[in-house]
Amino acid sequence: MCDKGGHVYEVIQGVATKKYHKGACSEAVCDIDAMMMALERLRSSHDADDVVTALLDDNSAGTDSLPTGVRQLVTDSKNLVAGALSSMSGREARLRVLVETTMHTLAGVFLHCCRLVARSSVDRPPSSGVATNVADHLMEAARSLRTTVEAGRAVLEAGSDTSALDSSKNALLATAALLAKSLSVLVHEVKTV
């Protein structure tokens, strides 16, 4: 069962430091849902002064910029798909590591985006338009990543059944193409930040 509650900042920070275990794909799907919900809560909240203060005061995301984080997410996503498609032994353990790496990067991108949204709520236009566009495109990329992770899980679950495995791999490739497209749009959008 996914825990979608919690404070915006804690949800994202929790994913940023989480260790993933067996069933990492299922955990990642829940965590993507939770981060998307947290970002939506922040965007729709008009009395989120405590959240805004926490986001603007926290320096734990490091010095990486949002564009750098998004480029890393593109790389991590490619590695995740390649790992799910590989036929090497230990694929499940390798995929768990790739899911964890991708989710930590995604959490960093969400944190940067939440900071952008928080700043725009203080600064107002023109930064609010940029923040809205970045948040919209991040949500689309997160939905695509969620679908791709689910497709990766299906590849694992297909096991050695050749027919099911081929079908699962084709589905994964289709979702990966959509993910690549949404990440490309996000990369373009964050250049304006």
pLDDT tens-digit map of 18-75: 999 989 999 999 999 999 999 998 888 754 454 555 555 555 444 468 999 999 999 9
Is pLDDT at 3 greater than 60 in this prediction?
A: no
- What percentage of the chain carries pLDDT values higher than 70? 83
The pLDDT score that the predictor gives to residue 84 is 93
Which element (helix H / strand E) includes 123?
helix 91-123
Hey, what are 154's tokens? 């299906």
The pLDDT score that the predictor gives to residue 54 is 56
Nearest alpha carbon to residue 42 among 126, 102, 132: 132
Confidence band, pLDDT 50/70/90 cuts, at residue 90: confident
- Token pair 């750098």 is found at 68
Is the model more confident about 86 or about 61? 86
Quote the mean pLDDT of the chain.
Answer: 86
Nearest alpha carbon to residue 16 among 69, 53, 91, 67: 69
Read off the pLDDT of each residue in 75-95 and give the average, rounded to a whole number.
91
pLDDT tens-digit series, residues 118-130: 888 776 655 578 8
The pLDDT score that the predictor gives to residue 9 is 82
Is pLDDT at 98 greater than 90 in this prediction?
A: yes
- Whether 88 and 94 have beta carbons less than 8 Å apart is answered as yes
- Phi-psi group of 5: left, alpha or beta (phi > 0 → left; psi -120 to 50 → alpha; rest → beta): beta
Confidence band, pLDDT 50/70/90 cuts, at residue 159: confident
CATH class of 8-190: mainly alpha
- Low-confidence winner among 40-54, 68-82, 142-156, 161-175 (lowest mean pLDDT): 40-54
Is the model more confident about 88 or about 10? 10
Hey, what are 9's tokens? 């900042």
The pLDDT score that the predictor gives to residue 127 is 58
Domain ranges of the chain: 8-190
Which element (helix H / strand E) includes 111?
helix 91-123
